[in-house]
Amino acid sequence: MPLYQPKNPDYRAVATTMFEQQRAMKTLGISIARLEPGEADLAMDYSADLTQQHGFIHAGIITAALDNACGVAAFTLMPPGAGILTVEFKTNLLAPARGDRFVFRASVVKPGRTLTVCEARAYAAHDGKETLIASMTGTLMALSGREGASPERGHVAA
């Protein structure tokens, strides 16, 4: 039995649609690997195009993926018609981001009407072994009555 009950019975389809509207995630090659009420796992294959000068995946990419995993996890608990927006996060980089595949696992710690707190961890996988490379604590704000805005106008409620 899930830890949380979603307020939207169609949470899976709505969260997937919201995620797929985010062009940044598509550009980075990040996809949803698992989705449950209050939980989300995102995944990304290694790409040399996303590395920094030492060949590790750039910390900004890892942070963006962790932030998005938190957002998707929180979004699964939002009521119909609501949006979600990150208002704060703290990332700890624990090990170099090297591996063949990366997994970003997020879960809601404390859901709220206005603010939701999430935790996420990033793992690098290589030869079937996962290494913890980063962690995040994030706070997300519910946006009532906001569907996504036009990306061409420079703002999207995610």
Residue 1 included in any domain: no
Positive/negative CA dihedral, 44, 48, 49, 50: positive
Q: How far apart are CA 109 and CA 42, in angstroms?
A: 18
Average pLDDT over every residue of 19-36: 97
Residue 43 included in any domain: yes
Query: What domain range includes position 78?
Result: 11-153
Residue 2 included in any domain: no
Residue 6 included in any domain: no
User: Which tokens belong to 1?
Assistant: 């039995």
For position 115, what pLDDT does the model report?
97
For position 90, what pLDDT does the model report?
98
Which carries the bigger pLDDT value, residue 2 or residue 94? 94
Q: Is the pLDDT of residue 79 over 80?
A: yes
Counting the structural domains of the chain, the total is: 1
Please choose, from the candidates 87, 143, 142, 88, the residue with its C-alpha nearest in 3D space to the C-alpha of residue 111: 142
Residue 93 included in any domain: yes
Q: How far apart are CA 14 and CA 26, in angstroms?
A: 17
Please choose, from the candidates 65, 66, 40, 131, the residue with its C-alpha nearest in 3D space to the C-alpha of residue 94: 131
Q: Tally the C-alpha atoms within 13 A of residue 50's C-alpha that lie toward its C-beta.
A: 25
pTM of the model: 0.90
**What would the pLDDT profile of 42-51 be if each residue is shown by its tens digit?**
999 999 999 9
Domain holding 56: CATH number? 3.10.129.10
Residue 16 included in any domain: yes
Residue 91 included in any domain: yes
Residue 80 included in any domain: yes
**What would the pLDDT profile of 97-152 be if each residue is shown by its tens digit?**
999 999 999 999 999 999 999 999 999 999 999 999 999 999 999 998 655 544 44
Q: Which residues, at least 6 apart from 26, have a Cβ–Cβ distance to it below 8 Å? A: 20
